[in-house]
């Protein structure tokens, strides 16, 4: 197979050479080679026509179901990525999970970087719907990790209890969690452990493998709210992400417990910067510094992150494309949260509320998790600024309501800058 | 086609050591047998439909151990799995089925007149009687591996065959995805409805994919003969009724099964069967007869008797709670059934259950009166 992303574990040097060529020409190569990728996989086993295999999506409500017409299915069902990942595998989670009570789920995942290309006829409309009109065919995604551009970002700690920024990164050349073999997963772990071992100063830390951690270490990680567990959500388990648990899964964090990396959970890596209190600016500074440093360290060894100029950073779930960034605070808003205008205010500020347990939880008391709605089409700096400006506005509203003053619904801010 | 393992060829680029699963904390039959050398030998193979070694063992890798029983830790994706991965499955079968050798032959006997007695189990103690087995349709992949098209074809064939049953076997099919609320409630009340599997043992093997597509329940109008379609196997066939007339339950079971087999043959389809493994099913634990014949029986005194487990063992019987596998007994009522599946015929297993339960009831009656049961202790069957 002559695919430019031939996934052979010993070809780090090959990947290194590609990275010297530069992201731009990689992207060109990516799209020019479309036909090649499309034919590169082995023939998928088919004894029934597509119409007999087409899933029953009549009771479904997710983005995949909205766009997987019989025609699209017929076109794509015989194809596979160079690694052998198929359409049926990509959509399995959406077939198995018809709908989610709170949110319209995406309903499909990528098994590798090439999935987004080979199954573009389905991924593109799904991405467009999920990311509010972002068109991967025509638009470009800006990446900006220069935290010095942030204005403000030091919240009133009477209201903001904690600040957090997270994203994900995938290691180019290795399959993603739904499809990876045990060897690939272990290689991801090895590459990441190697890199984070090179972090110094306030970023110096330690890795805790899920298979090897002691009871004591486990308890400490639970107390710190760092430990992630085997996924129970059927959205994830149906996509095959929990296979071989807990093999090659682990948690790394710095000694100060403000910078954290999850290895091989829902993505190759999830990177989290967090602190108690309201200093979002510092949280984001550490976030950028840490991310860029880890990137530099893996590049030294000939590896790089999956990225292209249309989709930004490539992650398992299409909902996390672009920046993969969720920047948020835990904030107490007792009066504002009871105001009927609260949802509209959040909407116009392009913010999302969740309970303090994260996605799919309810708020406790009047403390909410408030974070950016968008992931793709705006840069990291832009999204974090949006959160900072938005949370400041919410706090202003709360203060006004405290004094018996009225509040205003802000004008909707523009989405793609 | 379960997750990510269809690209087996690419995996061959990595060494055996890199791919071999970590089974150091595992306690299932697969983990006992699958040493690195065997993994190395088998990992390049696949069945004609593309089922691979990693597909076979995924459930055992993901589920290190079970609190109550030693699980098998592997499944078949098609009939050929048992041949292609013989070197893994034969020792597992031998271990799980009491020493059954690769050269042994399995007897099938579905002639109910060969069963002696069984029509008079004391219904003061025996609340209900039930016999179940499974059947797979030759030429189709099994639940861990089948595509939607195949699963639907199995459903269509099954519905057609069952639709031709007559007399006291005449009945109706309820597709899981089409049933009305009223039908659903009735099936729950009758204890017939099966739900999407929640056990990680089943989920990890990919059997719950596309739920509830092409799954359904058929039962006769009398509610004594029931077929599950596309749950853990292509077909699960169940004969049941209240009370202790095991003979009647078994007779209906045999008649129904034989009739269904005939109807399938008329359409050019056979059940998966061979003279070494008997009826071929998804889980190696159900090979041979696939038969579990049991009763719900009240044994409040005997179950507290210090040698209860030993008695069951000697009678080649197994106890479960009244919720089925992985449940605890409630109020002294136990589900007592045959422990074996392979190496004994259906009639032989039924005979063990009938004779064994009779003895258990006799022991219970003695203990009720405060009498000893030492003279009743059976020899090891």
Residue B208, chain A, CB below 8 Å: the answer is yes
- CA B29 – CA A323 distance, rounded (Å): 45
Encode pLDDT of B352-365 as tens digits.
999 999 999 999 99
Are A247 and B209 a contacting pair at CB < 8 A? no
Average pLDDT over residues A200-227: 92
pLDDT at residue B248 tops 80: yes
Average pLDDT over residues B51-68: 92
Residue A78, chain B, CB below 8 Å: the answer is no
Encode pLDDT of A74-119 as tens digits.
999 999 999 999 999 999 999 999 997 677 999 999 999 999 999 9
Crossing angle (nearest 10°) for helices B346-368 and B246-266: 160
pLDDT band per the 50, 70, 90 thresholds, residue A44: low
- CA A326 – CA A309 distance, rounded (Å): 20
Per-residue exposure over B303-337, b if at least 16 CB sit within 10 Å of its own CB, e if not = beeeebeebbebbbbbbbbbeeeeeebeeebbbbb
Vertex B268 angle, CA B265 and B271, to 5°: 55
Pairing type for strands B126-135 and B216-220 reads: unpaired
State the distance between the two ends of chain B, measured CA to CA, in whole angstroms. 42
pLDDT at residue B6 tops 80: no
Task: Say what the pLDDT of residue A222 is.
Answer: 86
The A residues from 222 to 261 touching B (CB cutoff 8 Å) are 237-240, 242-245, 247
Query: Which among B4, B25, B147, B216 is the top mutation candidate for probing chain A, defined by the most A β-carbons within 10 Å of its own β-carbon?
Result: B4
Residues of B with Cβ-Cβ distance to A183 under 8 angstroms:
11, 14-15, 18-19
- CA B73 – CA B52 distance, rounded (Å): 15
Mean pLDDT of chain A: 88
Tally of CA atoms within 13 A in the half-sphere of B186 that contains its CB: 10
pLDDT band per the 50, 70, 90 thresholds, residue A27: very low
- CA B32 – CA B13 distance, rounded (Å): 26
Residues of A with Cβ-Cβ distance to B19 under 8 angstroms:
181-183
Task: Determine the residue of chain A that is closest to B25 in CA distance.
Answer: A211
- CA A119 – CA A96 distance, rounded (Å): 19
Residues of A with Cβ-Cβ distance to B21 under 8 angstroms:
182, 244, 247
Mean pLDDT of chain B: 93
Average pLDDT over residues A161-170: 97
pLDDT at residue A232 tops 50: yes
pLDDT at residue A25 tops 90: no
Task: Say what the pLDDT of residue B188 is.
Answer: 85
Task: Say what the pLDDT of residue A228 is.
Answer: 87
pLDDT band per the 50, 70, 90 thresholds, residue B147: very high
pTM (2 decimals)? 0.89
pLDDT band per the 50, 70, 90 thresholds, residue A357: low
Known binding residue A310? Answer is no
- CA B217 – CA B230 distance, rounded (Å): 9
Determine which of A207-221, A268-282, B178-192, B258-272 has the lowest per-residue pLDDT on average.
Answer: B178-192
Q: Which two tokens mark A350?
A: 């392009």
Please check whether residue B93 is in contact with residue B284, taking contact to mean a CB–CB distance below 8 angstroms.
Answer: yes
Closest partner CB to B147 (pick from A53, A179, A245): A53
Please check whether residue B16 is in contact with residue A252, taking contact to mean a CB–CB distance below 8 angstroms.
Answer: no
pLDDT band per the 50, 70, 90 thresholds, residue A37: very low
Residue B44, chain A, CB below 8 Å: the answer is no
pLDDT at residue A12 tops 80: no
- Of the two residues A47 and B223, the one the predictor is more confident about is B223
pLDDT at residue A355 tops 90: no
pLDDT at residue A41 tops 80: no
pLDDT at residue A17 tops 60: no
pLDDT at residue A409 tops 70: yes
Encode pLDDT of A381-397 as tens digits.
999 999 999 999 999 99
Task: Say what the pLDDT of residue B324 is.
Answer: 63
Average pLDDT over residues B195-199: 86
Query: Which among B7, B22, B176, B211 is the top mutation candidate for probing chain A, defined by the most A β-carbons within 10 Å of its own β-carbon?
Result: B7
Q: Which two tokens mark B143?
A: 């639940």
pLDDT band per the 50, 70, 90 thresholds, residue B321: confident
Residue A182, chain B, CB below 8 Å: the answer is yes
φ and ψ of A20, to 5 deg:
-70, -30
């Amino acid at each position: 197979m002559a695919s430019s992303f031939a996934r052979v574990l010993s070809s780090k040097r090959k990947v290194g050479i590609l990275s010297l060529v530069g992201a731009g020409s990689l992207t060109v190569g990516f799209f020019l080679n479309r036909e090649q990728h499309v034919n590169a996989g082995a023939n998928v086993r088919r004894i029934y026509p597509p119409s007999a295999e087409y899933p029953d999506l009549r009771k479904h409500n997710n983005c995949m179901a909205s766009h997987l017409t019989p025609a699209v299915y017929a076109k794509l069902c015989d194809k596979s990525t160079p690694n052998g990942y198929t359409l049926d595998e990509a959509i399995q989670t959406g077939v198995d999970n018809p709908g989610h009570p709170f949110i319209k789920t995406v309903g499909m995942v990528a098994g590798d970087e090439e999935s987004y290309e080979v199954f573009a006829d389905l991924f593109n409309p799904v991405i467009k719907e999920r990311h509010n009109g972002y068109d991967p065919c025509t638009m470009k995604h800006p990446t900006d990790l220069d935290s010095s551009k942030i204005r403000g970002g030091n919240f009133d700690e009477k209201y903001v209890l904690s600040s957090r920024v997270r994203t994900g990164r995938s290691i180019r050349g290795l399959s993603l969690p739904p499809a990876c073999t045990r060897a690939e997963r272990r290689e991801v772990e090895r590459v990441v452990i190697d890199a984070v071992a090179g972090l110094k100063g306030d970023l110096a830390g330690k890795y805790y493998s899920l298979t090897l951690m002691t009871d004591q270490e486990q308890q400490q990680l639970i107390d710190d709210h760092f430990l992630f567990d085997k996924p129970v959500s059927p959205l994830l388990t149906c996509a095959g992400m929990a296979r071989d648990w807990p093999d090659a899964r682990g948690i790394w964090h710095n000694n100060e417990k403000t910078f954290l990396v999850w290895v091989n959970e829902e993505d190759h890596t999830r990177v989290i910067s967090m602190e108690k209190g309201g200093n979002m600016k510092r949280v984001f500074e550490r976030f950028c510094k840490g991310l860029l440093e880890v990137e530099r360290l893996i590049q030294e060894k000939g590896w790089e992150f999956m990225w292209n100029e249309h989709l930004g950073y490539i992650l398992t779930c299409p909902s996390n494309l672009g920046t993969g960034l969720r920047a948020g605070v835990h904030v107490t808003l007792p009066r504002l949260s009871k105001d009927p205008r609260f949802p509209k205010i959040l909407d116009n500020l392009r913010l999302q509320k969740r309970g303090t347990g994260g996605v799919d939880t309810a708020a406790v008391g009047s403390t909410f998790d408030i974070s950016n709605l968008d992931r793709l089409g705006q840069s990291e700096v832009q999204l974090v600024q949006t959160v900072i400006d938005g949370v400041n506005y919410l706090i202003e509203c709360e203060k006004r309501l405290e004094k018996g003053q009225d509040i205003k619904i802000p004008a909707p801010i523009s989405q793609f800058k | 086609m379960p997750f990510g393992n269809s690209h087996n060829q690419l995996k061959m680029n990595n060494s055996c050591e890199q791919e071999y699963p970590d089974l150091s904390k595992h306690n299932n039959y697969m983990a006992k047998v699958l040493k690195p050398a065997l993994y190395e030998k088998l990992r390049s193979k696949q069945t004609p439909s593309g089922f691979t070694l990693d597909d076979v063992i995924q459930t055992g890798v993901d589920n290190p151990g079970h609190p109550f029983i030693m699980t098998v830790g592997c499944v078949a994706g098609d009939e050929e799995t048992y041949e292609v991965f013989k070197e893994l499955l034969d020792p597992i079968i031998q271990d799980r089925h009491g020493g059954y050798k690769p050269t042994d032959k399995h007897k099938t006997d579905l002639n109910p007149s060969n069963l002696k007695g069984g029509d008079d189990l004391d219904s003061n103690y025996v609340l209900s009687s039930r016999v179940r087995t499974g059947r797979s349709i030759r030429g189709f992949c099994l639940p861990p591996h089948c595509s939607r098209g195949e699963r639907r074809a199995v459903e269509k064939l099954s519905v057609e065959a069952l639709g031709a049953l007559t007399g006291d076997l005449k009945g109706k099919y309820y597709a899981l995805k089409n049933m009305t609320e009223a039908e659903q409630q009735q099936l729950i009340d009758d204890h017939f409805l099966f739900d999407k599997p929640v056990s990680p043992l089943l989920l990890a093997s990919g059997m719950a994919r596309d739920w509830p597509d092409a799954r359904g329940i058929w039962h006769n109008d009398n509610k004594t003969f029931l077929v599950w379609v596309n749950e853990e196997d292509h077909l699960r066939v169940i004969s049941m009724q209240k009370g202790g007339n095991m003979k009647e339950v078994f007779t209906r079971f045999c008649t129904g099964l034989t009739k269904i087999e005939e109807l399938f043959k008329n359409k050019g389809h056979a059940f998966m069967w061979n003279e070494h493994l008997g009826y071929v099913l998804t889980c190696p634990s159900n090979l041979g007869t696939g038969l579990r014949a049991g009763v719900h029986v009240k044994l409040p005194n005997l179950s507290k008797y210090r040698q209860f487990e030993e008695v069951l063992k000697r009678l080649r019987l197994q106890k479960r709670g009244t919720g089925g596998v992985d449940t605890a007994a409630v109020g002294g009522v136990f589900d007592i059934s045959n422990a074996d599946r392979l190496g004994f015929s259906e009639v032989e297993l039924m005979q063990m259950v009938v004779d064994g339960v009779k003895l258990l009831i006799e022991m219970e009656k003695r203990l009720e009166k405060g009498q000893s049961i030492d003279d009743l202790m059976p020899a090891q069957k």
